[in-house]
Amino acid sequence: MKNIARLMLIVIMLILLAACGKKSNVLYVFNWSDYINPDLVKQFEEAYDCEVRESYFESNENMLTKIESSRQAYDIIVPSGDHVTILVQKGLLEPLDKSKLTNYGNLDPQLLLKAQSFDPENKFSVPYFWGITGLMYNKKHVPQSLIEQKSWSILGDDYFSGKQKVTMLEDAREVIGAALIFAGHDLNDASEAALADAEKILDIWDKNITQYDSESYKNEVADGTSWLAQAYNGDALQQMAQNSDLDFFLPVEGSSLWMDNMVILKSSQNKELAYKFIDFLLEAENAKLNAEYTQYPTPNKAAYDHLDETQKMNELIYPSPEYLEKCTMIQFLGEKIRGVDALFEKIRLN
């Protein structure tokens, strides 16, 4: 009997030890959904004998709320540029020790320069993917005649009225930004006059919009629940690869550009592993596999150089320089964000 009790004690201790051992080697990553190749995560776990615990957010705003309210122990998060600035100002990010990122040199210097608009000196953030926003639609339900103009105006077209088949992103900057661009303003113009013009446009579009959502639309346009959705290009391309009824266009008026970035939280309990993960994703072959999976444009020059021509030539992933001229990077707005948020709230609650 004594022996059994002793044996049980040993087993319990071993289980506890294993649990403790495992915990110290867990990396908590907070990322957008469908934004990393799961095979790479597995490879990393095997190579570094660790566990990567992923959680997902659908908007920068939700990510920020979660970081600030829950104090959950994330190590790495993937904010867009404007939110890198916000997180830096709030003192939440770890300045990066680049000597720990042996593959940092794979990044495109031109894009690193662009990233300096939200992170001067590239001190806190490592570009992950960049991208562009457009409109995804289901060819079975949206007539070609409506698509030909390739305009944002399709969002307000009478064809959709009363049908509950159009969605826009749950993203204040993207929704207000599209209206600002369509009204002929700069995407980052948050002046009262510009927002008043955007509101007039959004009042028209909103009559057709059934929800502001950044997640379920991906499947819903595919299954016909929605017919037209404002969409991030990679998300649309991932869906298109599985369903030939789907298509996507970049509006002629221009669109928003963003850059999402890997950052390490100051509160991270596992910074060494966080550096290893970032460096692993920066490695040329890994970054290539990641870009092929997500269908987003990669800021990793070494990876880009080895991409398949079909990927590089796809203008929905890498738009032409002429089209990019018409696009504007979403920038940090400081206090002016309040006007944008208030307008988005007003439209949504309408």
**Where along the sequence are the contacts to ligand N2P (CB under 6 A)?**
32-35, 80, 131, 232, 235, 258, 260
81 CB-near residues (< 8 Å, 6+ apart): 115, 117, 118, 119, 125, 258, 259, 260, 261, 329, 330, 331, 332
Length of the chain: 350
d(CA 304, CA 97) in angstroms, rounded, equals 25
124 CB-near residues (< 8 Å, 6+ apart): 84, 87, 88, 93, 94, 95, 96, 263
Q: Which is nearer to ligand N2P, 50 or 187 (CB)?
A: 187
Residue 181 C-beta: closest distance to ligand N2P, Å: 17
Q: Which is nearer to ligand N2P, 122 or 233 (CB)?
A: 233
Q: Which is nearer to ligand N2P, 270 or 294 (CB)?
A: 294
Please check whether residue 145 is in contact with residue 333, taking contact to mean a CB–CB distance below 8 angstroms.
no
Q: Which is nearer to ligand N2P, 174 or 197 (CB)?
A: 174
Nearest residue (beta carbon) to ligand N2P: 32
Q: Which is nearer to ligand N2P, 127 or 131 (CB)?
A: 131
d(CA 201, CA 180) in angstroms, rounded, equals 8
Residue 34 C-beta: closest distance to ligand N2P, Å: 5
Question: Sign (positive/negative) of CA torsion 316, 62, 183, 151?
Answer: positive
Could you give the C-alpha distances from 299 to 109, 113, 128, 153, in angstroms and in order?
Answer: 9, 11, 7, 31
Q: Which two tokens stand for residue 23?
A: 């915990």
Q: Which is nearer to ligand N2P, 32 or 137 (CB)?
A: 32
Q: Which is nearer to ligand N2P, 119 or 260 (CB)?
A: 260
Residue 163 C-beta: closest distance to ligand N2P, Å: 26
- Return the bridge partners of 212, or none: 168
Q: Which is nearer to ligand N2P, 167 or 270 (CB)?
A: 167
Which secondary-structure segment (H or E) carries 131? strand 126-138
Residue 35 C-beta: closest distance to ligand N2P, Å: 4
Residue 81 C-beta: closest distance to ligand N2P, Å: 9
d(CA 169, CA 192) in angstroms, rounded, equals 23
Residue 57 C-beta: closest distance to ligand N2P, Å: 10
Residue 188 C-beta: closest distance to ligand N2P, Å: 16
Please check whether residue 49 is in contact with residue 25, taking contact to mean a CB–CB distance below 8 angstroms.
yes
Residue 255 C-beta: closest distance to ligand N2P, Å: 13
Which secondary-structure segment (H or E) carries 27? strand 26-32
Q: Which is nearer to ligand N2P, 34 or 220 (CB)?
A: 34
Residue 320 C-beta: closest distance to ligand N2P, Å: 21
Half-sphere exposure of residue 168, counting CA atoms within 13 Å on the CB side?
Answer: 22
d(CA 81, CA 125) in angstroms, rounded, equals 9
